[in-house]
Amino acid sequence: MTYTNPALTVVSDEVTPGALRWRSPSNIALVKYWGKHGNQLPQNASVSFTLDAAATDTTLHYHPRREAGAGVDVALYFDGELHPGFTDRTRRFLEGLLPIYPFLRQFSLRIDTTNSFPHSAGIASSASGMSALALCLVSLEEALFEPLPDTAAFFRKASYLSRLGSGSACRSVYGTAAVWGTVSGLADSSDEYAVGIADHLHPVFQSYHDDILLVSRSEKSVSSRAGHGLMEQNPYAPARYAQANQRTREMLDVLRRGDTERFGQLLESEALTLHALMMSSQPSYTLIEPNTLKVITTLQQFRRETGHPVHFTLDAGPNVHLMYPDAIAAEVSIFVTDHLLHYCEDRQYLADHVGKGPHQLAIDGTSGA
């Protein structure tokens, strides 16, 4: 599919300056995407839960230029300060969208963004950030031109654009859970955008918790972008891609059946497989830290003693996600406070859960349309 549309240009004198604002969540992959090809296309399918508290709040300010430029005029402010690195990455992303949105040359753009969690620490800040920006862009398209046919078309286009900025971001535009990648038997699934699967989930998973233990708030030593690139020469890559596709199909079945035990087995194996792929890359690297392992072993002991279905996963970083059903939330909260927080930097963690997805905000911060 393609969204290329050279007709999407404006008469600058007829456009008044404005701003649009979206809050979009991060997501946690249950079956991991690690390795890509072409223009941000996945080597394997993946499935994720959409989070709630871990989110990015982005405001896109637009002002018409007197004359269109050759590229995109943009400045990105992170937590109120101009961030040259993020600005350069965002400019490259937006200039890559010019075949889809040629009108971007006709505006000066300012992006104000902030996270509810540390960026570049392995909590998928690029997923929440790029999805929030993509949602602002699709809203800008609708403000300047004709509305898209329906809500489904709006979020599908936002998912498509998000993928071009950060692969996993395409899953964040859907509430509860999403699948990215072509999966046999899953209608409309695609490598080019994600699809929401909230209606496929057993009730136990619709209120699942994810406590994110901040073992380290520091920026990762190796970015996810670099990690994906190293998969091209990884000797285990072909077997991994086949395994991930099979596990995506099995995970979808587990989510439908409400099998928390098998869910946990797959979840933890996926986390360890992801980091094993990093350690078997050339050059190899390790993002797990000593306290990551201490959290995992302490959790395993707690599970043996209580029989509670609380399991861990890891994203591309040292921080540990504890996932469990709502029915045992009170007991897990006590366990985290009493036994795990001393492994966390500054004793910090983010108590999160499956969320309803992104929403548009009015510029004053209240919920918008």
Domain range for 341: 203-353
Does 129 map to a domain? no
- pLDDT tens digits, residue range 267-300? 999 999 999 999 999 999 999 999 999 999 999 9
pLDDT of residue 291: 97
Does 20 map to a domain? no
Q: What is the mean pLDDT of the chain?
A: 94
Question: What totals of helices (H) and strands (E) does the chain contain, helices first?
Answer: 9, 14
**In whole angstroms, what is the distance from residue 111 CA to residue 128 CA?**
14
Q: State the pTM of this model.
A: 0.94
pLDDT of residue 223: 85
Query: Which of 175, 199, 176 minimizes the C-alpha distance to 187?
Result: 199
pLDDT of residue 124: 56
pLDDT of residue 126: 87
pLDDT of residue 224: 84
Q: What CATH number does the domain containing 290 carry?
A: 3.30.70.890
Domain count along the chain:
1
pLDDT of residue 369: 41
Does 228 map to a domain? yes
Does 63 map to a domain? no
pLDDT of residue 366: 52
pLDDT of residue 125: 78
Does 318 map to a domain? yes
Q: Which residues of the chain have pLDDT under 70?
A: 118-124, 365-369
Does 91 map to a domain? no
Does 341 map to a domain? yes
Lookup result for tokens 């380290």: 216
Q: How far apart are the first and last CA of the chain?
A: 28
What one-character-per-residue DSSP string does 302-356 give? HHHHH----EEEE-SSS-EEEEE-GGGHHHHHHHIIIIIGGGSGGG-EEEEE---
Does 277 map to a domain? yes
